[in-house]
Amino acid sequence: MLNNFFEFLNYDFVQRAFIAGSLVAVCAAVLGVILILKRYALIGHGLSEIAFASCSAANALNLPPLIFAAPVVIFAAFLILFISIKRRVGGDIAIAAVSSCALALGVIITSLSSGFNSSVYGYMFGSILALDNQDVILAIALSGFIILIFIIFYNRLFIITYNEEYARSLGLNVNFYQGLIALTTALVILTGMRIMGALLISSLIIFPALTARKLASSFRAIILIAALVALISFAAGIFISFIYNLPAGASIVIANAGLFMIIIIFKNLLKVICI
Amino acid sequence: MLCVNNLSLGYSGHIIIEELSFELASGGLIFVTGANGSGKSTLLRGILGLTKILLGEIKINKGIKIAYVPQAEAERTEYNFPASIREIVLMGRQRPFKLFYNSRDVQAASYAMTRFEINNLDAQLGQLSGGQMRRVLLARAFCAEPDLLLLDEPCAGLDASGREIFYDYLNDLRLKYNTAVLMVTHDDNLNLKPDKIINL
Ligand SMILES: Nc1ncnc2c1ncn2[C@@H]1O[C@H](COP(=O)(O)OP(=O)(O)OP(=O)(O)O)[C@@H](O)[C@H]1O
Ligand SMILES: [Mg+2]
């Protein structure tokens, strides 16, 4: 079985999936740490629904989906961020309301036009094993850009995530960094949607950060562990999907959730043993 | 260094500080006193640009290093934040256009932590007592070697030895860096001689 898996790894389309998928998984995980600690985790979910809606609308209108969806999602990211800054309470409700409306609109537009064909199905559940070279290049470029932003602004993003007021008192331009977070979220969703699907991408943002939080007590450690968890779950997910012939995106999510459960059980066992 | 002119501050309509004027020169020391709710924290936050100025103006020399120690309550919500003490104190070394910390920054931060006798450097923020947290916030501000230091009840929660360290260290900063200090306080600080006391 393992031999078969290694043979499977030799295929071009599998290698493309590994390169693009692991890069996006790492970006989503690192971003997820910031979003979760800032209690913005819902933004990822809302944006992915909006991304799905705009892709299916583009599909119905015969426009190139990504080119149509990119400005919509980036605009929505800034709008949602603006809402959650302005109205601390109720921000999450606003996100849920706006994004589920967008999702419903997407479904209606789709059923009025072509119906649920394979490309719409692709936006929903991703098509990681059907990536072409162009997808991979796009994934490498965007993830490279995002990782570069994280490295360059690591210390600033840490302070902003920790406490915006304190960041302001240091003279940091908090709005700029918030905009940067919104932009990166939009980019991660857009790249991730092609690979993981709109319905599953937000779990790539949330799970690694949750798992890492259980294991780390410093910010640097939580970032590194989240990235590692994302890579492990990604590889495990692809492996599971190959062995049991399951959809790849969903298997990656299940691998993520499984790892999270294992860590929680292990930690609690440790507690019980120590007492 | 800091020049406040006819300053009025307040929140959504009601004014809390009215037409306040004072000047703080390099190396100077001003105490801010007053009852609970009289607007002491609001004044510091106004100087930092954290609350809107209703009227008047605040002039601060360009390019000076400002450090701020918020009142204990201010960062309560961050207590469960996954960050080590080391990481929190190092934040104090942040400057505009400085993206990465160098060895000088790490040294300054660890000097401040040693001086405040903060030992459990890898502990998480949430595991600290109130007084330990105060020492961390003070170390964070002092390691900046600031030109202007804004302190909001810096000694609240500190034990006798903590207060002694604080006053010693503050004197060193003022001698070495000519730091100007604006300090909200409720104690009679016999060890310090302010140039002025602002009673709100
Ligand atoms: N964010 C806010 N919104 C509205 N009103 C506020 C806000 N923060 C403070 N206030 C009000 O402004 C007044 C001054 O508050 P401030 O925190 O400056 O007092 P203080 O002098 O620092 O008091 P203490 O000695 O208790 O620290 C209080 O009446 C308070 O209710
Ligand atoms: Mg106060």
Please give the DSSP secondary-structure letter assigned to residue A200. T
Q: What pLDDT, in 10s, does the model give residues B55-113?
A: 999 999 988 999 999 986 556 556 678 899 999 999 999 988 888 999 999 999 999 99
Mutate to test the interface with B, among A36, A37, A88, A155 (most CBs of B within 10 A): A155
Residues in chain A within 8 Å Cβ distance of B51: none
**Which residues lie with the beta carbon below 6 Å from any ligand 1 atom?**
B 11, 16, 34, 36-42, 71
pTM for the structure as a whole: 0.90
> What pLDDT is stored for residue A147 in this prediction?
94
CA distance A129 to chain B (A): 36
What SS3 class is residue B140? Answer: helix
The pLDDT value given to residue A128 = 83
Asked whether residue A255 carries a pLDDT value surpassing 70, the answer given is: yes
Query: What would the pLDDT profile of B4-35 be if each residue is shown by its tens digit?
Result: 999 999 888 788 888 899 999 999 999 999 99
Residues A139-196: tens digit of each pLDDT = 999 999 999 999 999 999 999 999 888 999 999 999 999 999 999 999 999 888 888 8
Residue A3, by phi and psi: left (phi above 0), alpha (psi -120 to 50) or beta? alpha
The structural domain count of chain A equals: 1
Query: Cβ atoms within 10 A of the Cβ of B126, count?
Result: 13
- Which of A155, A169, A221 faces B100 most closely, judged by CB atoms? A155
pLDDT on residue A87: 63
Write the CB contacts of A166 (distance below 8 Å, at least 6 apart in sequence): A159, B68, B70, B75, B91
Give contacts of B48 with chain A, Cβ < 8 Å: 168-169
CATH superfamily, domain B2-199, is P-loop containing nucleotide triphosphate hydrolases (3.40.50.300)
B190 — pLDDT class (breaks 50, 70, 90): low
pLDDT at A90: 60
Per-chain residues with Cβ under 5 A from ion ligand 2: B 40-41, 71
Digit-coded pLDDT (tens) for B166-184: 999 999 999 999 999 999 9
Chain A residue with minimum CA distance to B70: A166
* Min Cα separation B82/chain A (Å): 5
Is A174:A182 a contact under the CB 8 Å cutoff?
A: no
Measured from the CA of B186, which atom of ligand 1 is nearest? 25
CATH number of domain containing A16: 1.10.3470.10
Instruction: For residue B144, report the distance from its CA to the centre of ligand 2, in Å.
Output: 23
Show the domain range for A236.
2-274
Closest to A219 (Cβ–Cβ): which among B66, B70, B83? B83
| Type of residue numbered A189 | I
